[in-house]
Homo-oligomer: A and B are copies of this chain.
Amino acid sequence: MRYELYYWPSIQGRGEFIRLALEEAGADYVDVARGREEDGLGMPALMHFLEGTDAVHPPFAPPFLRAGEQVIGQTANILLFLGPRLGLVPDDEPSRLWAHQLQLTISDLLTEIHDSHHPIASCLYYEDQKPEALRRAADLLERRVPKFLRYFERVAERNPQRDTHLVGSALTYVDLSMFQMIEGLRYAFPRAMARIETAYPRLIALHGRVRARRRIAAYLASERRLRFNEQGIFRRYPELDA
């Protein structure tokens, strides 16, 4: 099965959580919007699903994944689908629901991080909502990020199988997503993270272990891994990193 990932071609964004899972599993996939138009790829292929009139299951927004005849949207839903197929989640239903629950909680934090630079409207520039962003980012870093990270640290701590993973005894897509979350927070808020991250030793150790995995390390060093930038979800605006 060759998977087709559809996501904006110039940012890590939500698509990165899918890319990491596909890369760790060594899956056969194509990052459609980053391909060439003459090969039937590129942005037109992505926009076809968003604006076309023939998709029976139209996605609301990228990322979405095409797997044979199925088109699946919503980041956490894509991972719910891919997890068992890529061997990145335990077999039993309770573990899969638990992994998905954690992934949805990561999605919630991600939305709050996005809204810290866009608290008023996605369609406005950051510069048009900067005073509001300053207020929201202060709350994000003072209360919300610590609340979420404390939660996930506790999840690892209570994992009855191994506190080196968030779910079960082996690597799951949730661990990969937590790696990306730590990576993004360090990029966007280096000062705040330097101050708070020592309170979450299990998450930081997990981040390091994921980073060192053979396929992940190769991916991160490759051109397939886009750099963080100020069009994505994790943005480095020093004034927000109080």
Contacts and interface: CB of A to CB of B under 8 A. Distances in A.
Secondary structure type dominating chain A contacts: helix
Interface stretch (A118-126, A178-186, A187-195, A224-232): A118-126
A86 to B, nearest CB: 15
Nearest to A158: B56
Interface residues of A, number: 42
Given A111-B111, A119-B136, A135-B120, A77 B101 contact: yes
A74 B74 CA distance: 15
A37 interface: no
A55 interface: yes
A101 B121 contact: no
Contact of A136 (B77, B98, B121, B158): B121
Interface of A: 55-60, 70, 72-74, 76-77, 80-81, 94, 97-98, 100-101, 104-105, 108, 111, 115, 119-121, 123-124, 129, 132, 135-136, 139, 143, 148, 151, 154-155, 158-160
